[in-house]
Homo-oligomer: A and B are copies of this chain.
Amino acid sequence: MSARICGTAAEAVAEVADGATVLVGGFGMAGMPVGLVDALLEQGASELTVVSNNAGNGDTGLAALLARGRVRKVVCSFPRQSDSWVFDDLYRSGRVELELVPQGNLAERMRAAGAGIGAFFTPTGAGTQLAEGKETREIDGRTHVLEHPIRGDVALIAAHRADRKGNLTYRKTARNFGPVMATAARHTVVQVGQVVEVGTLDPESVVTPGIYVDRVVSL
């Protein structure tokens, strides 16, 4: 159904429920939907599962959500960073669950959710701790691991521009997880730098078609 343009970040994230799986875009700070994450903190949803490449930087954004005890579980590829002290403390003291996923499997599992693929065999991670207990199969002489989709109840992502139909463009490496997360969630919320009129974006250059977008807010 058509995307809705929201006036505030609070309105855009109003529908996130307790216990939701929330896909959060960004690679480090590039493409991080800071305004939406801040609004989610205010909104108050708890017992969240957060799927994101990293697990928060400094004391704001995802880190603040973690610090306030709103996150039950983190699914990510690279939690450990120089400024990931909030996650590090929670993890070491057993107050947050971690599912560590190779970055490409993280992306591909969300892609599978968005593309209606039930499961897939990937060579990545075969023979490592991160594939322990998973089904494997030899294909073309190589061990493959069966991986399942990661589906979000909500995706919070950042894009560069949106038109009023929810078509999105991104900017440079801030694109990263935004497009795949938009496909993988039942409800996709986007913060953009600018909302433009329909017909402004070049149809050849739209990266995320509006079909994947539910809420847009310009921040």
* Residue ranges of A at the interface with B (Cβ–Cβ < 8 Å): 108, 112, 115-123, 137, 139-140, 142, 144, 169-172, 202, 204-205, 207
Sample of 17 A–B contacts (CB below 8 Å): A108-B115, A117-B120, A117-B121, A118-B120, A118-B122, A118-B123, A118-B137, A118-B139, A118-B142, A119-B120, A119-B121, A119-B137, A120-B120, A169-B204, A170-B204, A171-B204, A204-B205
Docked complex Cα distance between A144 and B139 (Å): 19
Contact B122 A121 (CB under 8 A): no
Residue on B nearest A120 in the bound complex, by CB: B120
Docked pose: A189 CA to B147 CA in angstroms: 33
Q: 18 other contacts beyond A117-B121, A118-B121, A118-B140, with CB at 8 A cut-off?
A: A116-B122, A117-B122, A118-B122, A118-B137, A118-B139, A118-B142, A118-B144, A119-B144, A120-B120, A120-B121, A169-B204, A170-B204, A171-B204, A172-B204, A202-B205, A204-B205, A204-B207, A205-B205
- Residue of B whose beta carbon sits closest to that of A117: B120
- Give A121 to B137 CA distance when docked, in angstroms: 14
Q: What are the residues of chain B within 8 A of A118 when measuring CB–CB?
A: 120-123, 137, 139-140, 142, 144
Q: How far is the CB of A183 from chain B (nearest CB, A)?
A: 14
By beta carbon, the residue of chain B nearest A111 is: B115
A140 surroundings in chain B (CB, below 8 A):
118
Nearest CB of B to A201, in Å? 11
